[in-house]
A and B are shown apart, each in its own frame.
Chain A
Amino acid sequence: MELKKTFNVLYPPCPDYTGNSRSAEARTSKGWGGAGLEEAGQASREKKKKKKKKNRAALRHSPRPSRCRKLKPASMVDSCFVSQGLTALAAFLLFPFDSLAASQIEDQAEQFFRSGHTNNWAVLVCTSRFWFNYRHVANTLSVYRSVKRLGIPDSHIVLMLADDMACNPRNPKPATVFSHKNMELNVYGDDVEVDYRSYEVTVENFLRLLTGRIPSSTPRSKRLLSDDRSNILIYMTGHGGNGFLKFQDSEEITNIELADAFEQMWQKRRYNELLFIIDTCQGASMYERFYSPNIMALASSQVGEDSLSHQPDPAIGVHLMDRYTFYVLEFLEEINPASQMNMNDLFQVCPKSLCVSTPGHRTDLFQRDPKNVLITDFFGSVRKVEITTETISLQPDSRIMESSYKEDQMDEELMEPLKYAEQLPVAQIIHQKPKLKDWHPPGGFILGLWALIIMVFFKTYGIKHMKFIF
């Protein structure tokens, strides 16, 4: 939070700011190449430009200060340099630089800045109560377990559980919630911090949580204190239908409400990027209406399909998990904080042969290529940090800096404004074509007509009769 405030002081959001930050960014990323870039040659730079354009999308909309980075090669071979920037916001970055191949260096530099987030949040929601919906609680808890294992602290996780399965009198194994049969994996764990429980899980509370319109008395643990540098993971599960998700058997949230809430979050600068995952019947209908930028969405099933359960356990007497989340959990269990798995791997996690339903995903609102988005960008709170005590001196190459600066300026002009998806297709919704304009005679014609009438009038009566008229 403090970090954020400093940013605001230093870089008040103004239209021309984006360009500055962009160029500073480019400068640093070019600068890292150091001496190596000279060998790389022009050709490789041209190639990189294309990649950079893609990445720019992530960078351009949000101000980013150039920071003082100390880069230290892991193998301790070559030189690094200190970029110019604000030393007050120093971040120490590990940057492997084992060979002289400049392209690789650039790759990694870009890798580092692929995501513009500085903090991670997770909102995990289970909307169903009752013992026979055990699996939904287990779904949510398994995602909770994964994000917590990958480094998001409880203070940054808002966990909403509509029912307490661990303490349900029907639970033959009290104080546990299992995700695998034969009691192989207890996702309830030792410390679960449930922020919204039982009847607090309502549509109103959920929307207030997302949009931050919360009474001032709300405790900190029940708030989503994200900013425009937050990557947010929103996971929802429950019973749903085409265009809605049921909350607690008594109310529903529609896909339009959800889309509007996300737009509000975007306008209030409450997220940098948002990953939305939903495991419910006809889940794809829930993300159809999203129109705010930087949202990637996944669902367990297409419209018209049911999501199915998995892991029947006769001892507990219910299904323990839903298929989609079960395979997502299996996938996440393999992820470690340094994992290079990307979103494309997550899309492949549950093919139809396993899920029975067809999982869907939507990436058109997202600015980055999913293959460049690490799983840990959302599921983990990963900071590549290494502290060095050595002084590293680097000679900035002024020629390269200058040329890249020019390129950047050119890029700025070409840069298109941030893309929004088409908002609500109003015409489709109300089933009306835009009204055609009625034909109207041109203005000159009417003017001429009047002139003719007046002329005929004077011709007939003459000017001397004017006094009889008026």
Chain B
Amino acid sequence: MGLLSDPVRRRALARLVLRLNAPLCVLSYLAGIAWFLALAFPPLTQRTYMSENAMGSTMVEEQFAGGDRARVFARDFAVHRRKSGALPVAWLERTMRSVGLEVYTQSFSRKLPFPDETHERYMVSGINVYGILRAPRAASTESLVLTVPCGSDSTNSQAVGLLLALAAHFRGQIYWAKDIIFLVTEHDLLGTEAWLEAYHDVNVTGMQSSPLQGRAGAIQAAVALELNSDVVTSLDVAVEGLNGQLPNLDLLNLFQTFCQKGGLLCTLQGKLQPQDWASIDGPLQSVQTLLLMVLQQASGRPHGPHGLFLRYRVEALTLRGINSFRQYKYDLVAVGKALEGMFRKLNHLLERLHQSFFFYLLPALSRFVSIGLYMPAAGFLLLVLGLKALELWMQLHEAGVGPEEAGGISGSSPPLPLTQGVGLASLVAPLLISQAVGLALYVLPVLGQHVATQHFPVTEAEAVVLTLLAICAAGLALPHNTHRVANPQAPDRGWMALKLVALIYLALQLACTTLTNFSLGFLLAATMVPAAALVKPSGPRCPLGSWPAVCCSRGAPGSSACSAWHLLTFLVRLLGSRSEAPAASALGGEPWMDTWDMELARADLAQPQVHTPTLAISAHRGPELCLRR
């Protein structure tokens, strides 16, 4: 209690913080990084366990035996699709009706923000087909969704075949207490988003779509299925959703238990479960998996169609059939049985999935790190900012006296009004300006692309990039009123006050980001904290001193950070020697090789919130910018 009120002790503490500041900061930063890496190892990771009573065990009998039927459906679907060149809606409707579902269609259209050069589309329109299996003895108050996205590049015909065969099998069972919706969407995420918006009767992306004719109750859980290859040797599960949202851990546990029961090879981020923890391989593999997950989550992109369901608080995950050229292959019966088991257990649910974790990291499929254990890693990083701010605060208080007389009792009181005089008033302008620049970065490129294309010989995509660059450059050129901050009688005082405010602001923003999306927050903190802590005008006229500050403040706004994640992801993938997906197919099929503008198009279409962190970044990077002399 007396630690801070007692002047002697307070001074001792202040001296300690001042003298040991640099080592403490380094120590704290290293502790944060070390803690994060330690998350992959057993004391911090726990085995996953099923929390939901209603889904307690895998004790259900899977009777699905429609493997041949699924293959026939898949072949027919592929034939019809090739014939029509788009989703064979009529055929799907007919087939779904023949297996006994209530069938409806929904048409949607949306103009992409930029023309999609790779797929040659600008105005996208498509039709979703979905069939509802009504629960025979229950009211239609709850439902489950099995969805298969059919993109323009991925045929996914095996998945459609399996979906139809499963629907036929499910139709024959009488134990359903929830309606089951079998949904085939066109144009990947676009179709899924259109259907979800129509189902929940909202419109957040400006999609034109016809209203749904038939609906079931509130969706409790959803599974998306992607089987691009005819040969499946393992199943990969994707959990990361929009803006790093994750489904309840119980859903993943359910999948994992059925994988074990059926003897399926299941992977997470393309990685198998580490087998031996004794040797170096196991922990190394789990570190890789953890890093991949963090990068995926930090990107804020949905890792599959399930990611869009999460926005509506529908627990969902995506299963991908992977062909990694192994000896042993699974037929559709094995995959179908796992799905049947999962749906039957989900059917037993009485409440929404809520018992298990919503915030977690996964170093392996059967291990998780809970939020209580991973938050300290980010906490240590943010502590660096706090320590720096504390140091600045003390220096500001005692700047009037020399460092050797800082202990003098009279020394602390006279500079105080001076500090306040320097602070606040003069700090408002730079802060406002940097906020405005952040806002401009967020809004202007998208707003101004059409104007740009009319007046300059550029495409929309190029326009966005160029606008971003222009705003960055303009931001540097703007007058920041820093000369007012630079007080003549106390030259250091100005930048100290500004940096103090900037550090606190940055720490707050990072803490908020970390709470909602740990991966993004942690990666931002890991990269920005050293720069923010170190940056300092070393001399009044030294341009080198201001350079890092500029670099750090303006060099990497959100979009390029986004592509940086992809690069990192790719690197980590290449490092992982035991990656399940062969590099070639990963490069071919995976979205990180898409052009950057398509990325942005998707981001803009399906996830308007994805820019929010970007805004946050640019906003809290703003104040740093003013350190430039």
Q: Is A174 in contact with B348, judged by CB distance below 8 angstroms?
A: no
Question: Which residues of B have CB within 8 Å of A168?
Answer: 177
Contact of B348 among A313, A317, A319 (CB under 8 A): A317
The CA of A168 and the CA of B54, in the complex, are separated in Å by 14
Q: Which stretch, B28-36, B135-143, B242-250, touches the partner chain A?
A: B135-143
Q: Is A317 in contact with B344, judged by CB distance below 8 angstroms?
A: yes
Is A112 in the interface zone, CB < 8 Å from B? no
- In the complex, per-residue mask of A117-148: 1 if CB is within 8 Å of any chain B CB, else 0: 00000000000001110000000000000000
Q: Is A169 in contact with B59, judged by CB distance below 8 angstroms?
A: no
Contact (A170, B175) CB under 8 Å given A130-B350, A132-B53, A317-B344 = yes
Q: Select from chain A the residue with minimum beta-carbon distance to B345.
A: A317
The CA of A130 and the CA of B349, in the complex, are separated in Å by 9
The CA of A170 and the CA of B137, in the complex, are separated in Å by 8
Q: Is B56 in contact with A169, judged by CB distance below 8 angstroms?
A: no
Q: Is A318 in contact with B59, judged by CB distance below 8 angstroms?
A: yes
Q: Select from chain B the residue with minimum beta-carbon distance to A317.
A: B60
Count, chain A residues at interface, CB 8 A: 17
Question: Which residues of B have CB within 8 Å of A167?
Answer: 137
Q: Is B59 in contact with A132, judged by CB distance below 8 angstroms?
A: no
The CA of A169 and the CA of B177, in the complex, are separated in Å by 5
Contact of B56 among A132, A171, A174 (CB under 8 A): A132
Please give the distance in Å from A176's CB to the nearest CB on chain B. Answer: 13
Is A425 in the interface zone, CB < 8 Å from B? no
The CA of A313 and the CA of B60, in the complex, are separated in Å by 8
Contact of A172 among B54, B56, B174 (CB under 8 A): B174
Please give the distance in Å from A200's CB to the nearest CB on chain B. Answer: 20
Question: Which residues of A have CB within 8 Å of B54?
Answer: 130-132
Contact (A317, B137) CB under 8 Å given A130-B54, A169-B176, A174-B174 = no
Please give the distance in Å from B65's CB to the nearest CB on chain A. Answer: 15
Question: Which residues of B have CB within 8 Å of A172?
Answer: 173-175
Please give the distance in Å from B267's CB to the nearest CB on chain A. Answer: 27
Is A215 in the interface zone, CB < 8 Å from B? no
List B40-67 residues whose CB lies under 8 Å from chain A. Answer: 53-54, 56-57, 59-61
Q: Select from chain A the residue with minimum beta-carbon distance to B57.
A: A312
The CA of A132 and the CA of B347, in the complex, are separated in Å by 11
The CA of A319 and the CA of B137, in the complex, are separated in Å by 22
Q: Select from chain A the residue with minimum beta-carbon distance to B351.
A: A130
Q: Select from chain B the residue with minimum beta-carbon distance to A318.
A: B59
Chain B binding site: helix, strand, loop or mixed by DSSP?
A: loop
The CA of A313 and the CA of B59, in the complex, are separated in Å by 7
Contact of B137 among A132, A174, A313, A315 (CB under 8 A): A174
Question: Which residues of A have CB within 8 Å of B348?
Answer: 131-132, 170, 317-318
List B346-392 residues whose CB lies under 8 Å from chain A. Answer: 347-348, 350
Please give the distance in Å from A174's CB to the nearest CB on chain B. Answer: 7
- In the complex, per-residue mask of A67-96: 1 if CB is within 8 Å of any chain B CB, else 0: 000000000000000000000000000000
Q: Is B59 in contact with A312, judged by CB distance below 8 angstroms?
A: yes
Question: Which residues of B have CB within 8 Å of A170?
Answer: 175-177, 347-348
Count, chain B residues at interface, CB 8 A: 21
The CA of A235 and the CA of B138, in the complex, are separated in Å by 31
Is A219 in the interface zone, CB < 8 Å from B? no
Question: Which residues of A have CB within 8 Å of B345?
Answer: 317
Is A314 in the interface zone, CB < 8 Å from B? yes
List B312-349 residues whose CB lies under 8 Å from chain A. Answer: 344-345, 347-348
Contact (A314, B177) CB under 8 Å given A131-B348, A132-B53 = no
Q: Is B350 in contact with A131, judged by CB distance below 8 angstroms?
A: yes
- In the complex, per-residue mask of A314-330: 1 if CB is within 8 Å of any chain B CB, else 0: 11011100000000000
Contact of B61 among A132, A174, A314 (CB under 8 A): A314
List B113-169 residues whose CB lies under 8 Å from chain A. Answer: 135-138
The CA of A145 and the CA of B560, in the complex, are separated in Å by 72
The CA of A70 and the CA of B556, in the complex, are separated in Å by 106
Please give the distance in Å from A93's CB to the nearest CB on chain B. Answer: 52
Please give the distance in Å from B22's CB to the nearest CB on chain A. Answer: 55
Please give the distance in Å from A384's CB to the nearest CB on chain B. Answer: 46
Question: Which residues of B have CB within 8 Å of A132?
Answer: 53-54, 56, 348
Question: Which residues of A have CB within 8 Å of B56?
Answer: 132
Question: Which residues of A have CB within 8 Å of B59?
Answer: 312-314, 317-319
Question: Which residues of A have CB within 8 Å of B350?
Answer: 130-131
Question: Which residues of B have CB within 8 Å of A314?
Answer: 59-61
List A299-315 residues whose CB lies under 8 Å from chain B. Answer: 312-315
Q: Is B177 in contact with A315, judged by CB distance below 8 angstroms?
A: no
Please give the distance in Å from B305's CB to the nearest CB on chain A. Answer: 28
Please give the distance in Å from B354's CB to the nearest CB on chain A. Answer: 14
Please give the distance in Å from B33's CB to the nearest CB on chain A. Answer: 43
Q: Is B61 in contact with A315, judged by CB distance below 8 angstroms?
A: yes
The CA of A312 and the CA of B56, in the complex, are separated in Å by 12
Question: Which residues of A have CB within 8 Å of B136?
Answer: 169
Question: Which residues of A have CB within 8 Å of B135?
Answer: 169
Please give the distance in Å from B162's CB to the nearest CB on chain A. Answer: 22
The CA of A314 and the CA of B63, in the complex, are separated in Å by 10
- In the complex, per-residue mask of A177-216: 1 if CB is within 8 Å of any chain B CB, else 0: 0000000000000000000000000000000000000000
Please give the distance in Å from A168's CB to the nearest CB on chain B. Answer: 7
Please give the distance in Å from A127's CB to the nearest CB on chain B. Answer: 15
Task: Name the residue among A167, A172, A317, A318 with the largest chain B CB count within 10 angstroms.
Answer: A317
Please give the distance in Å from B364's CB to the nearest CB on chain A. Answer: 28
Please give the distance in Å from A299's CB to the nearest CB on chain B. Answer: 23
The CA of A168 and the CA of B176, in the complex, are separated in Å by 10
List B207-257 residues whose CB lies under 8 Å from chain A. Answer: none
Q: Select from chain B the residue with minimum beta-carbon distance to A132.
A: B54
4 nearest CB pairs, A to B: A314-B61, A169-B138, A169-B137, A169-B177
- Complex A-B: 6 CB contacts under 8 Å: A130-B54, A169-B136, A169-B138, A170-B348, A314-B61, A317-B348
Q: A313-B59, A315-B61 are in contact. List 9 more A-B contacts (CB 8 A).
A: A131-B54, A132-B54, A132-B56, A168-B177, A169-B135, A172-B175, A317-B175, A317-B344, A318-B59
